[in-house]
Each structure stands twice: as structure tokens, then as C-alpha cells.
Chains A and B, each alone.
Chain A
Amino acid sequence: MKHKLPLIALALFVSSCASLKSYEMVYVNDPEMKMSGSSGKNFELYIESIREGASPSDGGKSSGGCGCN
């Protein structure tokens, strides 16, 4: 039960978000509000996935080449 609490809290939080009208989405639909990064940032994530022990969850790579230098 202890491990399920964060999931239940997340589900309640997500379901409590009220819907927005189309005209109210002008800020959240701005291209800068996208969750994905620019190509330059993706190149940095690729470098970080090689130079650091962790594989970032939001980009980079997880193997496919030695990245050995």
C-alpha cells in the first residue's frame, strides 16, 4: 500500500485538473512550452549519456555505439 500512495496521489492530481477552453491554451500551446528539447539540447543529452554513468530518461541514448573516447 505504501508504494501505491504516490501513484494514487498522481492519479488524483491529474484527474483534478480542470479542462481549458481552446482560447485559454494560448500560453500552454506556445512552442517554448514543449516538453521535448531543441536539436542542440539533444546533442548535449547524447554527450551527457556518454560522459556520465547515468542514462537520462528524457533523451540521449542508451547504447548503440561504444562512446568510448
Chain B
Amino acid sequence: MLKKVYLAATLSLLLFNSARAIDKDSVFKKKILRKTEVEILFSHYMQDGVHSAVTGGLGTEKLIVFAPSVSVTTSSKSLSWKLKTGTDLITSASTDNIDFVQSSASRKDARTYANLSLTKRLPKAISIELGSGFSVESDYWSLPVSLSVKGTSKNKMRDWLIESKCYFDDLRWGRLNPNYRKPVRLIYPSELRGSNWFDTYKRQSYNLKAGLSQIIDKRNVIGVYPLITLQNGLLSTPFHRVVFNNTETRVENLPAQRRKLALALKWNSFVGGNVIVKNTLEAFTDNFGINALGFENETAIKLKNGVTLSPFARVYTQSASKYFAPYAMHQPDELFYCSDYDFSRFYSVKSGLEIKLNNQYALRKNWLFQQCQLRYAYYRRSDGLYAHIISLALSLQNNKQI
């Protein structure tokens, strides 16, 4: 009889404890985790060449850009916010002759931008994102507006995306000049300021992008990304000179509408124990006569201690725009003309290395160090332009129960 009492008491105690444990678990599950991710990016760009469009396709293209930026993403159960802001500090040799006030002192410029986006996660693995912000430099103001919808199939084998991004630009100079602090007028080359070359100072760009990525098997994923772009308004850069074959100089003049069609095909493959091969093929065509093709390969090699090495290489070729001709090669009777070598026929190669450190370790007050990335690329164009591009990114994460 005593044994039965002990048995009943033990069972009751076990049941009581397990009920308490379940209760504890259910309370724990109700807590919402708020995750905050911070990424600090330092980018550095150094370029030189001999075909500056500011001086009609002949002259130094020396340019140095230091571009620090920070992005903060806060996510809870169904909502996330992302704020990205930064400043590009630009030192340029070719634009030192376009300032309205001092004709040789605008060698330094700054582009400041901020973008805020809100993502709402809906049922059935669909999310919708809305974003806007601004970008300002001495000679323009840009207002971006974006809307995108993303989804994942029920079996998680397929991701899709539809994204619309619009830019509304005002290309008047003067906002960052201490004498004006407001948009004043378009900035023309110093010796061509006697004429009003353009009727409009606005530019609108509408981009519609789609994306589909599909898991093929245990080790392969492919993606297809078409993009359609329509641009209207002032597509010429108002301080680009064009020198004609009769020595006359005018401001670059391009049509007021540009239609672009681009396609990217991607194939990522986990080939061996620790090697991932990523291939991208890009194709492009537009109504300015530019047809382009590019191929990039990046091979990620995972080493010990969370270190990943990713050597990469890219080749790219494009045909010239029908409106492009080199210095002093345009005919005076042409309607549209430019000597910007970005629109010329060339091929380019880029190669470099990315080193990634993925070790997580705890910092203060729920903060974790997530990742450090260092990336270097050397870029060379067949017209002689070359550039060094360096980026350092640091990622931190904070997990908080609310």
C-alpha cells in the first residue's frame, strides 16, 4: 500500500514538473526576437585615363572617390526597416573647370545619400518592400522611389522577384555652393555659358526588373534577371564638351529618350567539399546603339576558421553608341553627338580577390561581430582607363527579446 502511495506521489510530481516546463516553453515561444544588423562599408576608388569627356574626349580622367556608408536593418516578426546612408567624397582633375564661381576650384565634390525601406512579410512566404530617399551632389538632386514584391515557392525550390525603381533627377547646380544653397541653373563648360543649350533640367528613369532563381539539384542554383529601363528628359551631361572637325566646340547633345534592355543569367554551383563556383552572363542592348556582353566568374574557397577566399575575374565588351566619335571627329551637321568614351567601343577586364572572415564573437550588450570582408579589384578598359577598387565591410548583429 505504501509503495502505491510513493508511486502515485512520484508520478504526480513528474506530471506537475512537466506541466510547468511546457508552460515555460509556451511563454518563451511568445517572445518576439528583434534583430538589428549594422554594416559599415568603406570603399575607395582610384581611376586614371586620357579620354575625359569634360575636355572633349582628350585629357586626364584622374579621379579619386572615398565612399564610406552605413546601413542599419531592424527586423521583427513581420516587419523590417532598412536605412542606408553615406557620402562619396570625390576629387576629380577633369571637373576643375566647371564651377560657376571659381573656374578652377571645384576639384572636390561630395555626393550624399540616404535611403529608407520598409519590408512587410505577408502569409505564403511573400514580402513587399517600399523604399525612398534622396541623393544630392553639387550638380544634381535625385529622388528614388522603389516598390518590390518577393516570394518563395511552397517547396522552397524557387524564389521570384518583381521590382520597380524610379529616379526623378534635377540636374541644376548650386545646392552645395555656399553662395547659393539652392538650385540655380545647369552648369556648362566655362567658355560655352553664353548660350542656353538645353530647355529642360529634369530626367526621369523608370526601371522594371524581374527575377527567378531555381534550385536544380542538391548543388546547383540558376537565376534569370531581365531588366527594362526607360529614361526621359536631359540625358546629356551639360558640362561635357564636343570638339568638331572644324574646331568648333559645343555641349554634348544626346536624344531625350533612352530605352534599355538587360538580361543576367546566373549559375551557382557547390562543386567540391569547400568550393563554390559562381558564374554570371550579362547581355545588354539600347536604342543608342550600344550592344554589350559580359561574363564574370567568382570562385569561393572555404578554408578553416571561417575564412573564405574568393578570387574573381570579369570580361566585358560593348559596341559604340551611334552618337559617339573621338575628339575632333564629329561633323558639324550631326544632330546628336558626344565624345564620352563610356559610350565608345571597348572591352574591359576586371580581376581581384575577396577575403571574408565569418567568425562570430560576442561584443557588449547582445552585440555580435558577424563578418569582415576585404575586397580588391583592378579594372582596365581597352581605351587605357584603369582603376583600383578597394572595399572593407564590417557586419554586426544585435538580438533582443521584446
Residues in A lying within 8 Å of B, measured CB to CB: 10, 14, 17-20, 24-25, 27-28, 30-35, 38-41, 43-44, 47-48, 50-58, 62-66, 68-69
Are A43 and B207 also in contact (CB < 8 A) when A19-B157, A54-B318, A68-B239 are? no
The answer to whether B270 touches A28 (Cβ under 8 A) is yes
The answer to whether B135 touches A64 (Cβ under 8 A) is yes
The answer to whether B391 touches A40 (Cβ under 8 A) is yes
The answer to whether A53 touches B389 (Cβ under 8 A) is no
Say how far A68's CB is from chain B's closest CB, in angstroms. 5
Kindly list chain A residues whose C-beta atoms are within 8 Å of the C-beta of B358.
31
The answer to whether B67 touches A35 (Cβ under 8 A) is no
Kindly list chain B residues whose C-beta atoms are within 8 Å of the C-beta of A20.
155, 157, 215, 217-218
Are A47 and B45 also in contact (CB < 8 A) when A32-B276, A69-B90 are? yes
| Contact of B350 with A by CB under 8 A | yes
CA distance A44 to B268 in the complex (A): 20
Give the secondary structure class of B's interface.
strand
The answer to whether A47 touches B381 (Cβ under 8 A) is no
Are A53 and B292 also in contact (CB < 8 A) when A43-B67, A63-B167 are? yes
Say how far A22's CB is from chain B's closest CB, in angstroms. 8
What are 25 pairs between A and B in contact, CB < 8 Å? Answer: A20-B215, A33-B276, A35-B266, A38-B354, A39-B373, A40-B43, A40-B373, A43-B67, A47-B389, A51-B381, A53-B321, A53-B342, A54-B262, A55-B284, A56-B264, A58-B225, A58-B282, A62-B205, A63-B205, A64-B144, A64-B205, A65-B137, A65-B169, A68-B239, A69-B61
Kindly list chain B residues whose C-beta atoms are within 8 Å of the C-beta of A30.
270, 276
Minimal Cβ-Cβ distance residue in A for B91: A69
Kindly list chain B residues whose C-beta atoms are within 8 Å of the C-beta of A54.
260, 262, 282, 284, 286, 290, 292, 294, 316, 318
Which B residues between 303 and 341 are near A, CB-CB below 8 angstroms? 308, 316, 318, 321
Among A24, A39, A41, A57, which residue has the most Cβ atoms of chain B within 10 A? A57
The answer to whether B262 touches A56 (Cβ under 8 A) is yes
Kindly list chain A residues whose C-beta atoms are within 8 Å of the C-beta of B262.
54-57
Q: Which of the segments B13-21, B22-30, B118-126, B226-234 contacts the partner chain?
A: B226-234
CA distance A28 to B268 in the complex (A): 9
Say which residue of B169, B216, B225 sits within 8 Å of A64 (CB atoms): B169
| Contact of B214 with A by CB under 8 A | yes
What is the 8 Å Cβ interface bit string for chain B, positions 352-364, against chain A (1 contact, 0 not)?
0010101000000
The answer to whether A69 touches B343 (Cβ under 8 A) is no
Say how far B17's CB is from chain A's closest CB, in angstroms. 32
| Contact of B148 with A by CB under 8 A | no
CA distance A50 to B342 in the complex (A): 8
The answer to whether A68 touches B240 (Cβ under 8 A) is yes
Kindly list chain B residues whose C-beta atoms are within 8 Å of the C-beta of A31.
358
Kindly list chain B residues whose C-beta atoms are within 8 Å of the C-beta of A25.
156, 215, 218
Interface size class of B (residues with CB under 8 A): 35 or more
Are A28 and B219 also in contact (CB < 8 A) when A19-B157, A41-B375 are? yes
The answer to whether B282 touches A69 (Cβ under 8 A) is no
Are A66 and B171 also in contact (CB < 8 A) when A53-B321, A55-B227 are? yes
Minimal Cβ-Cβ distance residue in B for A22: B156
The answer to whether B95 touches A69 (Cβ under 8 A) is yes
The answer to whether A69 touches B264 (Cβ under 8 A) is no
The answer to whether B389 touches A39 (Cβ under 8 A) is no
| Contact of B131 with A by CB under 8 A | no
Which B residues between 73 and 129 are near A, CB-CB below 8 angstroms? 90, 92, 94-95, 111
Say how far B36's CB is from chain A's closest CB, in angstroms. 17
Say how far B228's CB is from chain A's closest CB, in angstroms. 10
The answer to whether A10 touches B318 (Cβ under 8 A) is no
Among A38, A48, A58, which residue has the most Cβ atoms of chain B within 10 A? A58
Say which residue of B92, B155, B231, B270 sits within 8 Å of A33 (CB atoms): B270
CA distance A39 to B40 in the complex (A): 10
The answer to whether B263 touches A69 (Cβ under 8 A) is no
Say which residue of B111, B135, B211, B379 sits within 8 Å of A47 (CB atoms): B379
The answer to whether B140 touches A53 (Cβ under 8 A) is no
Are A44 and B225 also in contact (CB < 8 A) when A28-B219, A69-B63 are? no
